[in-house]
Each structure stands twice: as structure tokens, then as C-alpha cells.
Amino acid sequence: MSNISRDEVAHLAKLARMAVTEEELDTFAGQLDQILDAVAKVGEVAGDDIPPTSHAVPLTNVFRPDEVRPGLSQDEALSGAPAAEEGRFRVPRILGEEQ
Amino acid sequence: MSDLTRLTAAELADKIHTGEVSAAETTQAHLDRIAAVDGDVHAFLHVDAEGALEAARAVDADIAAGTAPASPLAGVPLALKDVLTTKGVPTTCGSKTLEGWLPPYDATVTRRLREAGVPILGKTNMDEFAMGSSTENSAYGPTRNPWDLGRIPGGSGGGSSASLAAYEAPLAIGTDTGGSIRQPAAVTATVGVKPTYGGVSRYGLVAFSSSLDQAGPCGRTVLDAALLHEVIAGHDPMDATSVDAPVPAVVDAARQGARGDLSGVKVGVVREFSGEGYQGGVLRSFETAVAQLKELGAEVVEVSCPNFTYALPAYYLIAPSECSSNLARFDAMRYGLRVADDGSHSAEEVMSLTREEGFGAEVKRRVMLGTYALSSGYYDAYYGSAQKVRTLITRDFAAAFEQVDVLVSPTTPVTPFKLGEKVDDPLAMYLNDICSIPANLAGNAAMSVPSGLSEEDGLPVGLQIMAPALADDRLYRVGAAYEAARGPVLDKLGELEASK
């Protein structure tokens, strides 16, 4: 039985903001199906009575002292920007014409 | 001059600090070696000769002025995995998406190395964003194993391990999410340590799977790894998951171990890590190693960790899930690659087209796998169940460490395979990490130390040692004792063909 269809892979790619090609969809659908088959094995031992572990070190609300210290300058923060304008990141159009 | 590259980091430090050789000539000798052999090995993505020599000259100036060296490794050069940020020096993570990026800040590991007077020779090759076991997923071409240039050097930190085995650097830094320090160490006959999770700061370590990622030391000897461990480890307020506890005394432990007495130490052999899928020569090397541990005085018992067989599937749900979230930052807006910004595409389209072009196949696979595992409807069956397995593995370790001080296993089930052999078969590739993943899931400390050459192919095999969290010193004691009894392995590697 197939875990994941080609259409589902296309949907995942869309959710993950990756414009995958038709050829990639074929390859990934087969591979993801195989991988999901293998990893589904976790269900064999994951009983209701077992609490989940999200992190090896149980820590909550770790703070450091609230002290003023130097951060990146505006120029440093923009130094890797694909495009910058007037001290800001310049990005492509976000809203459509009708919005 | 060239024999400077054959010395250990401890020997080099001694010569530099007593004025017998300068840090600058030591660094230059390694730069020369890189120039001679890296065309074939391809361990480095970027060589920073000027930066390294400048750092070395500063150490020499200190020594000439009679100032104490900044650290026990001051002046000893190092190769840094390209996943740790270096201010003003390229950091690509092996990805096209970060080609040409110059980070505006240093990772804490980088900063500590600089403060310790360690010249950074350059940045080492890796599987893209540390996802892989062969470096074949690097966007810049694979690294080749100095033992056989047609074979993989391990991954993701294959550049770091190969730089050590090729004598291009005496020390290296790796990062280990599921075995990316230990597996490369095993297949190149070098030493690699994944410290306790939280032992070394993740600040400036470009995140793959944040609950698993851990930077650690790599060297040609256990003592060298220990010296480097003490330079990079310790609490960092910039990493909320950094452990606020004293750094284990790993250098003392390595020196104690080197005396060759393991009496009073209880060693557990993990029963689940043998059998089908394990190469005969790997298993026989492991059996010999266990016999040597006994001869050193250790008490050896067999231990069962039944849930370890579920570690691999759990890992391939947890790591992709975290990566799908972490890699969302590569959105083409603030840094890194941006394509199709020609006025005809929206921001969302630019993002999708950029990620399509900037990411390689393995990264795409894992991002989609994680997106799937975290989707409502599938969450409980996949990610939720994987988190429960993580609990079971932690319990298995806890039970085992009630009986023994350390656990041992082969580091990898097989010796280094040929480039291209598994690159189109993700599942076969994933199996390389079957023995190393449990320590990441539980946050334990673990080491790979050379255990000789496999009898059927003459290629390196690694012995994995695992210790409880915050007991990293046990790895070094047992590792150094075993190393002393076993004798050097890397010495059996002839001169690289290309440099003959």
C-alpha cells in the first residue's frame, strides 16, 4: 500500500515553498513512500502510556541577564541581503494587485 | 618542515610553546600540505591562509614577549566545519543557497577558538546542511577518503575527518546530529567525539535539528580531541540549551587512560548492534577491541537496549521535522540566494523558486518528510510516536548505565563504501548511522576511536564508546586506554597517491 501519492508530494512541496519539478515529484513520491514505510515502525512501541520526549535536556524558561550589549549594526545586518534599499531589506511584491 | 604535519596537536603545542618551532611555520606547513593534496581530497571549501597566519603570528608575538600562551593549543592550526559561522569568512553549509555569504558574526565555538589562539586554516566540506553520511550531498562536490580516493570519507563532516587523515590539519571541528562526527572518524581512522548535548554551545551553528545538533572535537589522537574539547566546551548564555555545569575533566581522563589501566571500569556490549547488516570484518575488529578492553582490566558484560532498533526510524522523523522548521529561514529575503526577482514574481514565488534552486535533493526530501510528519492527521502516528521512542531509548540508556560505566559498539556497520554507491538510495545511506543515533536522541556523550582495519578490505573500522550525559570524561579514559593498547592505525595509511 502506498503511503503517499504524487499529488500529496506536490502539496507538501507547496507547503514547504519549494517549486519542485515534475521529474522530482516522481522521484520523491517513490522515495518518500519507502522512507515512510520504514519509519512507521515507531508505531510498534509507542504506547499510550509512554510520555513523549522533545528534548534531551529538560529545560524551561532559560534567561540570561537583561544587560545592554552591542548587537549587529544596520550595515552588518544588511550585509548579506540579496537587495537592500534605504537601510531596509528590499523584497519582491508581497500583495497581489487586487489586494 | 613537512614533518610538522605528521605531529599530534599535543606535540605541536609543546614545540610551539617552548619556542622550538613557530606557530607561523606550523600553520604554513599545513597550508602547504593543503595546497599539495587538497586538489585530490577536497576536504576544504575555503582556505583562509591570511587569517590563519595572522592568528599564528599573534601567538608567536605572545611567546616572544614571554606571555603565557592563551590556551594549551595556542598556535596549533585547525580545520573548521563549514556549518559554524565565521565573521567575514565564507560559510556555506555545503549549500548553494549560502554561496558567497559572509556571516556578520562568529559562532561561540569560533570565538573560543580565536580566543584560544587556534589558527583556523579554513572551512571544511560537508553534506548540505549536515544531512548525509558521505559528503556527496555537498553542492560543491564530494570529499574523498584519503584511504581510497574512490571512497566516501563519511558524513556529514567528511571534510573535517579527511583533513585529519590527509595530514592537512592536526585538529578539526565537526558537528554531530546523528553521527556526523563519529561515522566520518570511523571511516578515516581518526578520533571524533560528540559531547553531551548542551556541552558545546550551538550559537552560530547553522541549525539542522536543534534538539540533536552538537559540535565536537576531532583529532588523530584521543588526547588531542580532549585538549580541543576543553577549548570549545562550557556554558554559553547565548544558547538557551547550553548546560550550566562544569566541563568534565577530559584531558586528565585521557592522560589517566593512556596509562593503560581500566580495572574497576565496567563496559557494556550492546547486544542489538550486531548481526544482519554488519560487515564481518567490522564485527571481528569489534570483538578484538572488546578482548583488548578486558586485557586492560575492564569488566565486560553484555547489555540489552531493546529499543535501540527503533532509534533509526525515530531519528528519521524527528530530524526531518526539526529541519523542515529550521530551514524555513532560507526564504531569500534577508541573506543567501535569491532568484527570479525580476519584478514579475511575488515574494512567495521568489521564495519557492529560490528554495528549489538553492537546495539539493536530500535537503528537499527531508524538508518534505518533516512537513508530512508534522501535518495534522499524521502528527500522532509519526512525530508523536517518534518522541515516545525517544523516551524509550533514554530509558534503555538509563537502565544500561545502572549496570555499566560505558557502552561499546561498532561506530558504523560497514567500512567506507564507494562514492556513488548509495547516493540514490536514501534508506541504504541512512543505515550508516544505526549505531550512532541513540546517543543523539538521548543527549549522551559518545566517541569513535580507530579500532584497526577490516580484514576483508583493509579499510578503517571505528569503536564507538558511549557514556552518560555529563560523563564525557569516561569516553576519554576508556578511549585513551584502548588507543594505547591498540596502537596507531592511521600510520598504516601510505602517502596519498597524488602527492607521491
**At residue B376, does pLDDT exceed 90?**
no
Separation between Cα atoms, residue B48 and residue B130, nearest integer Å: 22
What number of C-beta contacts closer than 8 Å exist between A and B?
180
Residue numbers in B near A12 (CB within 8 A): 368, 371-372
**pLDDT, tens only, B63-95:** 999 999 999 999 999 999 999 999 999 999 999
Separation between Cα atoms, residue B138 and residue B166, nearest integer Å: 19
Nearest to B188 by CA among B460, B463, B492, B489: B460
pLDDT at B498: 47
- Are the C-beta atoms of A45 and A13 separated by less than 8 Å? no
Report the gap between the CA of A42 and the closest CA in chain B (Å): 6
**pLDDT, tens only, A36-92:** 999 999 999 999 999 999 998 878 888 888 999 999 999 999 999 999 999 999 999
pLDDT at A97: 62
pLDDT at B497: 56
Upper half-sphere CA count for residue B350 (Cβ side, 13 Å): 24
**pLDDT category, B500, cuts 50, 70, 90?**
very low
Question: Sign of dihedral through CA atoms B324, B325, B330, B333?
Answer: positive
Closest residue, chain B, to A88 (C-alpha): B334
**At residue A96, does pLDDT exceed 80?**
no
A 30-89 residues with CB < 8 A to B: 31-32, 34-36, 38-47, 50-57, 59, 62, 64-65, 72, 76-77, 79-83, 89
**pLDDT, tens only, A5-40:** 999 999 999 999 999 999 999 999 999 999 999 999
Separation between Cα atoms, residue B129 and residue B138, nearest integer Å: 8
**Active-site option among B15, B81, B96, B123:** B81
The separation between CA B24 and the C-alpha centre of its own chain, rounded to angstroms, equals: 27
Closest residue, chain B, to A15 (C-alpha): B371
Nearest to B213 by CA among B133, B130, B155: B130
**At residue B407, does pLDDT exceed 70?**
yes
Separation between Cα atoms, residue B187 and residue B64, nearest integer Å: 40
Given an 8 Å threshold on Cβ–Cβ distance, is A17 in contact with B331? yes
Separation between Cα atoms, residue B416 and residue B399, nearest integer Å: 33
Residue numbers in A near B243 (CB within 8 A): 57
pLDDT at B307: 97
Is B448 tagged catalytic? no
Give the domains, in start order, of chain A with CATH numbers: 6-42 (1.10.20)
Given an 8 Å threshold on Cβ–Cβ distance, is B197 in contact with A56? yes
Q: Does B301 touch chain A (CB under 8 A)?
A: no
Separation between Cα atoms, residue B444 and residue B470, nearest integer Å: 8
Q: Does B317 touch chain A (CB under 8 A)?
A: yes
Domain boundaries, chain B: 2-308+391-492
Residue numbers in B near A47 (CB within 8 A): 388
**At residue B137, does pLDDT exceed 70?**
yes
**At residue B388, does pLDDT exceed 60?**
yes
B347 → closest Cβ in A20, A34, A93: A93
Q: Write the burial class of residue B461 (CB in 10 Å: 0-12 exposed, 13-18 middle, 19+ buried).
A: buried
pLDDT at B123: 98
**pLDDT category, B499, cuts 50, 70, 90?**
very low
> What burial letters (b/e) apply to B422-454, b meaning 16+ CB within 10 Å?
bbeebeebbbbbbbbbbbbbbbbbbbbbbbbbb
- Are the C-beta atoms of B120 and B169 separated by less than 8 Å? no
**pLDDT, tens only, B141-172:** 999 999 999 999 999 999 999 999 999 999 99
| Maximal CA-CA distance, chain A | 58
**At residue B3, does pLDDT exceed 70?**
yes
Mean pLDDT of B301-322: 97
The residue type of B477 is R
For chain B, give the mean pLDDT. 96
Report the gap between the CA of B441 and the closest CA in chain A (Å): 7
The residue type of A28 is F
**pLDDT, tens only, B82-128:** 999 999 999 999 999 999 999 999 999 999 999 999 999 999 999 99
Proportion of chain B above pLDDT 70, given as a percent = 99
Q: Which architecture characterizes domain B2-308+391-492 according to CATH? A: Alpha-Beta Complex (3.90)
Given an 8 Å threshold on Cβ–Cβ distance, is B382 in contact with A76? no
**pLDDT category, A99, cuts 50, 70, 90?**
low
Given an 8 Å threshold on Cβ–Cβ distance, is B390 in contact with A40? no
Residue numbers in B near A94 (CB within 8 A): 346-348
pLDDT at B496: 80
Closest residue, chain A, to B343 (C-alpha): A92
CA trace torsion B446, B450, B452, B456 (10° rounding): 70
**pLDDT, tens only, B241-252:** 999 999 999 999
**pLDDT, tens only, B168-219:** 999 999 999 999 999 999 999 999 999 999 999 999 999 999 999 999 999 9
Site from A42, A57, A91, A93 to mutate, B interface, most B CB atoms within 10 angstroms: A42
Report the gap between the CA of A34 and the closest CA in chain B (Å): 8
Given an 8 Å threshold on Cβ–Cβ distance, is B387 in contact with A52? yes
**pLDDT category, B2, cuts 50, 70, 90?**
low
- Is the bond preceding residue B160 a cis peptide, omega within 30 degrees? no
Report the gap between the CA of A20 and the closest CA in chain B (Å): 6
Residue in the block written with cell 596502537: B487
Site from A18, A28, A76 to mutate, B interface, most B CB atoms within 10 angstroms: A18
Nearest to B383 by CA among B308, B319, B432: B319
Residue numbers in A near B313 (CB within 8 A): 38-42
Is B156 tagged catalytic? yes
**Active-site option among B180, B209, B321, B448:** B180
Given an 8 Å threshold on Cβ–Cβ distance, is A40 in contact with B324? no
Decide: helix, strand or coil at residue A80: coil
Tell me the ipTM for this assembly.
Answer: 0.95
Is B180 tagged catalytic? yes
Cβ-based neighbour number of residue B61 at 10 Å: 12
B240 → closest Cβ in A53, A62, A91: A62
**pLDDT, tens only, B4-56:** 999 999 999 999 999 999 999 999 999 999 999 999 999 999 999 999 999 99
**At residue A1, does pLDDT exceed 80?**
no
Q: Does A1 touch chain B (CB under 8 A)?
A: no
Mean pLDDT of B465-474: 98
